[in-house]
Amino acid sequence: MSESEENEKEQKKVKIVSSADIIAARGKGRELAKKMGFSVVDQTKITTAISELTRNIVTYAGRGEVTIKKARSKTGGKNGIVVVCIDEGPGIEDVGLVLKGGFSTSGSLGLGLSGAKQLMDEFEIKSKPGEGTVVTIKKWLRR
């Protein structure tokens, strides 16, 4: 089995519908991060980032799905964890504004997004009004 196939097999998918699912997603995240050997601080950061993003899904999109699995950097050499949060919510009109806005202008949505961005090594968001949102976050194992 190739490495990417192995990673696919080990991935955890959690459907996000209610706030109870936030806890489930966090648990899966912590589990995989711990298994991969992330430090306690990094485990906590990863789990918290997952919490922020899934909470956004529940609050703003209604429903979505989170996929958590191992990642390998393109240039080889680095192992890490990648979390993809997909929802079919209303989408975000101006992502840049939301990320910059802080609590008052965009509510906890921006806070959650920028929080997750702050805690992880890589953060990518694709969102269009009417087309939902995909947020991908990654954290790499330190040597």
Report d(CA 26, CA 66) in Å as an integer: 10
Q: Are 108 and 59 in contact (CB under 8 A)?
A: yes
C-alpha to C-alpha distance for 100 and 36, rounded to whole angstroms: 32
Q: Does 51 bind another protein (CB under 8 A)?
A: yes
What does the alpha-carbon distance between residue 70 and residue 7 come to, in Å, rounded to a whole number? Answer: 6
Q: Does 108 bind another protein (CB under 8 A)?
A: yes
Piece in contact with another protein (CB under 8 A), picked from 79-87, 88-96, 111-119, 122-130: 111-119
Q: Which of residues 57-86 bind another protein (CB under 8 A)?
A: none
Interface ranges with another protein (CB under 8 A): 19-20, 22-23, 26, 30, 39-41, 43-45, 47-48, 51-52, 55, 103, 108, 111-112, 114-115, 118-119, 142
